[in-house]
C-alpha cells in the first residue's frame, strides 16, 4: 500500500500534486524528496481515517557534526548512526536509539550523493522527515510506518565521517528500510498465561516488536 505520488514528483523534481475532488490543495514543493513548503498528500483509499495528511514545517537539511573525538579513539568503523548522526557500534536494537521515548524506530540504508558510500542510520519520531506530518482530521501526527509507506522517509545530510569533501554537505539518498520496530502498549489485559508468554517473547527487545511489512525499498 503506497501513496500515489505520480503528481507529487514532477519531471523537474518540483512537487505539483493535484488534489482529488473535494480534497485540500497542495501547499508545499518537493525537490529530490525534500519537503520545502507545506503540502497535502493523499493517503491510500483503503486506509482508515482521513484520506489526507499534511506536513506543517518547513524542512531545512543541516550538516552533521564530525565526531572526531569518538572516531579517533575506535579503530573499527561504526556499524550504524543514530538520529543525530552519532556513530554507534554493535547490533542495532530499537531501544538503543537516541529518542528514549520512541514508539517506532527504523534502521535504514542511505547513500552519499558524492562518493556513493553506504550508511546505516536510525529513525524515530525524533528525526523522521517530514517530521511534522499531521493527519487532516484530528491533527494527529502521522506514524513513522506511514511515512515509510509513502516513501517520504529522508535522513537529510549523511553522517559526517569525512567520507569525501562535498558529501557531508549534500542530502543523502534514501535506499531501503532494513528493520522496522514498534513498541505496542503492554497488554496487561491478557490472561496471566498469555501475558507471561508475551513478556518472555519480548524480553530481549524490551517489549519492541519487529514488523517486516515496512522493511521496503525507498526508491524505484
Global confidence as pTM: 0.69
Q: Is residue 83 part of a domain?
A: yes
Say what the pLDDT of residue 129 is.
54
Calpha distance 5→214 (Å, rounded)? 18
Segments forming the whole domain that contains residue 137:
66-214
pLDDT in tens, 4-60: 333 332 333 333 333 444 444 444 444 444 444 444 545 444 444 444 444 433 344
Exposure letters 61-93 (e unless 16+ CB within 10 A, then b): eeebeebeeeeeeeeeebebbbbebbbbeeebb
Q: Is residue 167 part of a domain?
A: yes
Q: Is residue 40 part of a domain?
A: no
Mean pLDDT of 166-173: 91
Calpha distance 72→63 (Å, rounded)? 20
pLDDT in tens, 67-89: 999 999 999 999 999 999 999 99
Mean pLDDT of 214-219: 93
Q: Is residue 185 part of a domain?
A: yes
Who's near 86: CB < 8 A, 6+ residues apart?
A: 67, 70, 98
Mean pLDDT of 107-118: 96
pLDDT in tens, 42-51: 544 444 444 4
> How many separate domains does the chain show?
1
Q: Is residue 133 part of a domain?
A: yes
Q: Is residue 162 part of a domain?
A: yes
Q: Which residues, in sequence order, are bridge partners of residue 119?
A: 110
Q: Is residue 1 part of a domain?
A: no
Q: Is residue 52 part of a domain?
A: no
Mean pLDDT of 138-147: 74
Amino acid at each position: 500500500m503506497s501513496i500515489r505520488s505520480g503528481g507529487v514528483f514532477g519531471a523537474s523534481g518540483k512537487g505539483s500534486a493535484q488534489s482529488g475532488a473535494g480534497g485540500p490543495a497542495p501547499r508545499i514543493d518537493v525537490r529530490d524528496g525534500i519537503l520545502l513548503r507545506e503540502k497535502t498528500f493523499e493517503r491510500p483509499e483503503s486506509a482508515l481515517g482521513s484520506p489526507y495528511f499534511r506536513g506543517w514545517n518547513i524542512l531545512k537539511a543541516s550538516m552533521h557534526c564530525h565526531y572526531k573525538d569518538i572516531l579517533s579513539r575506535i579503530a573499527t568503523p561504526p556499524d550504524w548512526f543514530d538520529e543525530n548522526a552519532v556513530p554507534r557500534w554493535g547490533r542495532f536494537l530499537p531501544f538503543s536509539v537516541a529518542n528514549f521515548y520512541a514508539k517506532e524506530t527504523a534502521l535504514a540504508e542511505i547513500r552519499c550523493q558524492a562518493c556513493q558510500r553506504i550508511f546505516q542510520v536510525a529513525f524515530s519520531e525524533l528525526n523522521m522527515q517530514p517530521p511534522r506530518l499531521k493527519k487532516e482530521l484530528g491533527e494527529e501526527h502521522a506514524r513513522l510506518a506511514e511515512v515509510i509507506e509513502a516513501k517520504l522517509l529522508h535522513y537529510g545530510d549523511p553522517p559526517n565521517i569525512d567520507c569525501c569533501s562535498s558529501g557531508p554537505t549534500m542530502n543523502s539518498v534514501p535506499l531501503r528500510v532494513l528493520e522496522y520496530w514498534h513498541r505496542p502498549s503492554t497488554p496487561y489485559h491478557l490472561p496471566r498465561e498469555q501475558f507471561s508468554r508475551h513478556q518472555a517473547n519480548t524480553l530481549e527487545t524490551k517489549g519492541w516488536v519487529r514488523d517486516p511489512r515496512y522493511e521496503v525499498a525507498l526508491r524505484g
